[in-house]
Structure 1
Amino acid sequence: MGVDDSPGRPDADRRYAERVLHISGAWQRAARGAGLLSPDGALAPTIFAEITAAAVRHDAVNLGQGFPDEDGPIEVLDAATEAIRSGVNQYPPGRGMPVLRDAIADHQHRFYGIDLDPEREILVTAGATEALTAALLALLDGPEDEVVVFEPYYDSYAAAIALAGARLVPVPLRWPALEPDLDDLRAAVSDRTRIILVNDPHNPTGTMFTADVRQEIVLLAERHDALIVTDEVYEHLVMGAAHTPISTLPGAAGRTLTISSGGKTFRTTGWKVGWVSGPADLVDAVLAVKQYLTYVNGAPFQPAIAVGLGLPDTYFDDLAATQRERRDLLGAGLTAAGFDVSIPAGSYFTVADVRPMMAPGEDASDICRALPERVGVAAIPLTAFVTAEHRAQYSSLVRFAACKRTDVIAEAARRLAASAL
């Protein structure tokens, strides 16, 4: 009999780890880019997994990961059920089902006045993450290419940029406003910049970019002949001014790929139905890569998301109003706990400075590991979303996700307020 190298026993675990460390490949670039590879090559678990496990152990309210704990609109759920029962269970077309591509085009015109050809300018993907990864793999060409990213950033960005062999160039969002400085932005963009990657509304900070920032992004992209890729999955989770896609700005449409999904808008994150839209030649480039990733996905969910995109304005208004209520509940609890809070304009997320809770030598990661037991609430340190060289700038900042039921957010706020020092 051979040696059993599968994990589960101490000796097997050791042999398995040693074998993994000697398997070379692009996975190492992706893991290193995401900050999950130690100097000796060991693969570390994500902070999300660690904090979630702690939340379960201590029965804490988990405000770490950004997914809802309630179902989406019944019209959307019923449409998926009907599609399954009607036999919509095989491969959909490679670009996505026509009913969904038509619905995306109608949505973009209805909310933003954007006119798209659903046959050539829209591609359905396995969530926004696949759209982003496929776009970066399609449009980057090795170490000479740079991608300007606003830091902190959604963690898949760094992994996908590294997988493409390109270089990430961060532009910091500065506390307490968590907005970019225009001089920092100008210094980051150069003739080596292939893509400016924009996440607006922003995860993990909840920031929405000002008109000046959006305009500067377009001007710099024009000046340096760069492309713009936008991640707009929180487009309907806004609590102030309406979302403005960068592609609507003069000079932007011809060089911008816009990415979104139904997961956040319709509380269906597990369905993984996203899309990318923009100039046909850029969408074709993304398709050339995407078709060898998932090929296609979610046949019965695609017509259901199409139903969601056609819901009346009241649905989208109520969605934003509910998120505003939850943001305010969470912010009040964080403030009562003695933390400084950056009030988000969009997304699920609120950032707080937990410095009053930190002992000498501690940082936000230490606090987040202790919060589930000490306070009964789980959250994620902002250092999980930054480059190693910039960790110090964010060392006391923590992201809380207000995407759970209102009663759950109220209980988290009560626990936080009760923990006031």
Structure 2
Amino acid sequence: MDFTAQARAAKDASRALATATRATKDAALHAMADALATAEADVLAANATDVAAAEQAGTAASLVDRLRLDPSRLAGMVDGLRQLAALPDPVGDVVRGWSRPDGVQVRQVRVPLGVVGIIYEARPNVTADAAGICLKSGNAVLLRGSSSALHSNTAVTAALRAGLERVGLDADAVQLVTGGREVTKEMMAARGLVDVLIPRGGAGLIEAVVTGSQVPVIETGTGNCHLVVDADADPGTALGIMVNAKVQRPSVCNSLETMLVHRDIAAGFLPRALAVLAEHGVTVHGDPEVAALDEAVVPAEEDDFTGEALSLDLSVAVVDDLDAALAHIRRYGSGHSETIVTESRRAADRFVAEVDAAAVLVNASSRFVDGGELGFGAEIGISTQKLHARGPMGLAEMTSTKFVLLGDGQVRA
């Protein structure tokens, strides 16, 4: 089936989904989860093929980690679908409402977006997450994964479609889009068939979709996440957050990339931090003051502060005060997630007020900036834009609204 035919089939499927009851959608999600669990051996075998090809091609370890599935990660995909079934249905929710003086009832209600196109790299878990979120929010989805995950995505999508068919829903509500780069261009030009595109991946992919698409785009962003260790930080708290944010899973967008340490606490804190980071295999790229403390520190270059490492590499700098930390974040931050560790209410309040990011954290790890951790179930991605959706995109973010006016014959004067 060519892309235009797929998009038209998705459009037809979206019309039925828009009016599907919660019971029907939840039954579909459980059926999709059951089918995915049953297909575990096939999915893991397909994934092993993709991983082997990526390793043979010399793909970076961080990207291979994003690509890799194992029984635990697959179980997480299955659980994510079941968790979505347990969440409230956003479709039909009244965002706000009022009565006009003439008695006309006005309601703003949530409605599906329609057909959602997801263009993403590596991570085959996105295939299940995106399909589940789109289904629960009444949307059909066109999944355009990267060629590096083709076998994995094909196996996952086949299972999800089998689940839909099992409960009598149109399997074309979930479709995998394959082919060369020209297909991606077709998706970006499919205004009228595709209602919104969401790119999820590296900076290059996101930039290409944002600048080249004729279809409206919800922009997800890269995660150059900072941790500010304030003068009034508790050192133990800062060390715990630092390790969790950097080490737990360094290849994801909410992991720590840069740590800024207030000069007043640097002499006591940094030697401890460097020792702990070394124990966890983290390579520190430090400014001159940090590099002078330990010969294992790699002198930082400008590029070390500008983007995602997505690996066990951490950029560290000493800052004179909170003003300098805020200025550094304004210059280098990607608008994803920014953290401060401090016991000062004044510093915390100022940080929250002045940092321009989708998520701002006080004394907590940036690893919490995740749909599942925030109670949304699975997520489509982290939006770093300021229109419609910002932060983790769950069910509500995958809806639009329409105004419904109920009268009994009123006319405008």
**Could you state the TM-score of these two structures normalised by the residue count of structure 1?**
0.25
Q: Which has the higher contact order (CA 8 A, sep 6+)?
A: 1
Q: Which has the higher strand share?
A: 2
**Could you state the TM-score of these two structures normalised by the residue count of structure 2?**
0.25
